[in-house]
Amino acid sequence: MGKADMGESLQNELDAMAREISETYEELTLLYRLSQKFSTLLDMDELLHLVNNEIFEQLNVDKIFLLLIDEESGNLKIASSSLEISGGDISDCAKITTGLAMDATMGLKLILDNKVAKNSPDFIFNKGETGKVICTPLKVKNKPIGTLNIYRESDKDDFTSKDFKLVEAIANQAASSIANCRLYKEMHDMLLGIIKSLISTLEAKTAFGSGHSGRTAIYSKAIADEMGLSNEEKEDLQISAILHDVGKIGLNDSTLESGSDLTTDEMVKLMEHPLKGSSIIKSIKRLGTVTPGIMHHHEFFDGSGYPDGLKGNAIPLQARIIAVANDFEKNAYILNRKGLTNEMAVEKIKGNSGTLYDPDVVRAFLTAHEKNTIPKKGL
């Protein structure tokens, strides 16, 4: 080999090495970015949406299906797709058959097929349509939880081994984040279950009977929907509404049972419940963000409420919403027990807009009532 040839071959080797380093760097950057992006998400829908977006951004694909094994039935179900057919059972979905996706899931293997045969039972998205697919297992601790499947039309480029690696990287990150979301949901549901049973024990003794806090939470959420609060804000609001009277724990039965006719001493003790409730809940770290609603749900917009006599927007939004939902629920409950509709309770809220209640909250409440998300007759 002449000097010139040797030089050329060395140059080729260096170029190949530089390409490899650059590809590895790209891969690592992507992995880092994905782990940063996915790991902070605790909401499954948001996460799956992000996975879809990420694939569309990285690869020239036409369709995406993320299938998860249903924990009860053991079947693969569509958790998200670019065709918006989430929730369907894959065995019922005429557009997809289980072949490749099931093989990838159960065999924990990646499948790349650039020539899915016409009329093959495998991964035909539309009748007679063929194309190119990559099926990647989603696994947690080496156990299958589902599969990520991407599809390209037949007239487009073949999937390459680089695409393959990219999808695998996204699938691995997605799988551990899906496991995180599920764990978070489990813990969240457990916490909510404990809170609800605690509150129902307390409510069984009160003049307004059981279910008051649950209904207050439903009405609060309906108002928050109209006001465009974020999912996170709505979640805190609902927990806060469920817990708003938790500070009544420890009050004697006669105070709890009597809706009115309290002695001065009983009234003083009753009015301590927002403060007591928020100090109970403040000690639970996860619930720190729900205390404003508990502490201030008896404040009034004009400053005539308690415990701090806060005025206007100085009252936390959580508390301004719960104040409306709480008072409406109590009045509606009394009316409903007499067989009447909620109309008078609605008028009371309307009539106190700007004095007792935040006008923006009242407006949202009236819209929700109009739409029947706050029912015209009791829940």
Cβ of residue 244: shortest distance to Fe ion, in angstroms?
6
Minimum gap (Å) between residue 298 Cβ and Fe ion: 6
Q: Which residues pair with 76 in a beta bridge?
A: 69
Identity of the residue, 134 or 251, whose beta carbon is nearer to Fe ion in the bound complex: 251
Contact between 329 and Fe ion by CB under 5 A: the answer reads: no
Q: Closest CB to Fe ion among 122 and 245? A: 245
Cβ atoms of 229 and 222 within 8 Å: the answer is no
Which residue lies nearer to Fe ion by CB, 203 or 245?
A: 245
- Cα 128 from chain centroid? 37
CB of 98: closest distance to Fe ion in angstroms? 53
Shortest distance, CB of residue 258 to Fe ion, whole angstroms? 15
User: Which residue, 235 or 245, has its beta carbon nearer to Fe ion?
Assistant: 245
Q: What is the nearest approach in angstroms of Fe ion to the Cβ of residue 273?
A: 6
Q: Pick from 160, 260, 252, 246: which is nearest to 208 by CA? A: 260
Looking at residues 226 to 245 of the shown chain, list those that interact with Fe ion (rule: CB under 5 A): 245
Identify which of residues 236 and 299 has a Cβ nearer to Fe ion in the complex: 299
For residue 292, is the peptide bond before it cis, meaning its omega torsion is within 30 degrees of 0? no
Angle (nearest 5°) at CA 295 between 377 and 195: 65
Rg for the chain, CA atoms, rounded? 29
Distances, alpha carbon 7 to alpha carbons 13, 15, 275, in Å: 10, 12, 81
Least Å from the CB of residue 73 to Fe ion: 43
Count of Cβ atoms closer than 10 Å to residue 288 Cβ: 12
Name the minimum Å distance from CB 199 to Fe ion: 12
Q: Which is nearer to Fe ion, 69 or 199 (CB)?
A: 199
Our CB check for Fe ion shows the closer of 245 and 358 to be 245
Region class of 97: left (phi > 0), else alpha (psi between -120 and 50), else beta: beta
CB of 376 to Fe ion, least distance (A): 25
Size of the site for Fe ion (CB under 5 A): 1
Q: How far is the CB of 285 from Fe ion (least distance, A)?
A: 24
- Footprint (CB under 5 A) of Fe ion, residues 106-145: none
Q: How far apart are CA 179 and CA 223, in angstroms?
A: 32
Q: Any idea which residue has 């080496």 for tokens?
A: 142
Interaction mask 73-102, Fe ion, x per CB under 5 A: ------------------------------
The mark string for 242-261 relative to Fe ion (x by CB under 5 A, - otherwise) is ---x----------------
Q: Which is nearer to Fe ion, 163 or 245 (CB)?
A: 245
Q: Are 317 and 307 in contact (CB under 8 A)?
A: no
Q: Which is nearer to Fe ion, 95 or 298 (CB)?
A: 298
Q: How far apart are CA 227 and CA 113, in angstroms?
A: 48
**Sites of contact with Fe ion (CB under 5 A):** 245
